[in-house]
Chain A
């Protein structure tokens, strides 16, 4: 059973600090990696994707991929209360299936 694991949280971070969200996956042949943000009662929204080892930055968001250790992380700098949401990690695996993690609930405290 191929798995994507995330800490369910909640992860509480002070406003202005860096929020660090982590995701591990079991399929070493996984090809691409995605972070979705989902506000309560809303639909998921793609915020970052990464295909290669290393870091990818987009504004306040940085995705980090380490294929050797089979983890992907999302850093949110200068966290804002509007960043409070559930963050879903999704992994496109070697069977061409998108496997979702259960999500981490992030709370940014003013």
Chain B
């Protein structure tokens, strides 16, 4: 069982909808990530939160809005998405600066934009 929990597992939304993806971890990790993954491609980094502060934003369109309410929770707010945004959205956590690259992924939220 993964220790990073993502909800919902599947989401279908129209281009005018507003929805949110949620992620929770209870491993005491201080870094949390959002990745986007298309079929047969590696994960693509979107955002990094370190100690609850946004530290990396990989030039992601503003229709994706991250939020880190506390050290255990990470949200990704979605608004006015495009069909090409359909993908698997992965949340990950890592112990922090001492262990870069050691990522623990949730099961992902598979998003379909109609």
Taking Cβ atoms with an 8 Å cutoff, the residues of A that contact B are 31-34, 36, 42-46, 49, 88, 90-92, 96, 98, 100-103
Interchain CB contact under 8 A, A32 and B106? no
Closest chain-B Cβ to A86's Cβ sits at a distance in Å of 8
If A88-B42, A100-B42 touch, whether A43 touches B105 (CB-CB below 8 Å) is yes
27 A/B residue pairs, CB under 8 Å, sorted by A:
A33-B101, A34-B102, A36-B103, A42-B108, A43-B2, A43-B105, A43-B106, A44-B43, A44-B90, A44-B105, A45-B105, A46-B102, A46-B104, A49-B102, A88-B42, A88-B43, A90-B101, A91-B101, A92-B100, A92-B101, A98-B45, A98-B100, A98-B101, A98-B103, A101-B42, A102-B41, A103-B40
| B107 lies within 8 A of chain A by Cβ | yes
Question: With a CB–CB cut-off of 8 A, which chain A residues contact B2?
Answer: 43
Bound CA–CA A69/B2 (angstroms): 35
Question: With a CB–CB cut-off of 8 A, which chain A residues contact B40?
Answer: 103
Bound CA–CA A42/B106 (angstroms): 9
| Most B Cβ at <10 Å: residue of A32, A92, A98 | A98
Known: A34-B102, A46-B103. 13 other contacts (CB 8 A): A31-B100, A32-B100, A42-B107, A43-B2, A43-B88, A44-B103, A44-B105, A46-B102, A46-B104, A88-B43, A90-B101, A98-B45, A103-B40
Query: Does more than half of chain B's interface fall in helix, strand or loop, or is it mixed?
Result: loop
Interchain CB contact under 8 A, A43 and B107? yes
Bound CA–CA A45/B104 (angstroms): 7
Question: With a CB–CB cut-off of 8 A, which chain A residues contact B102?
Answer: 34, 46, 49
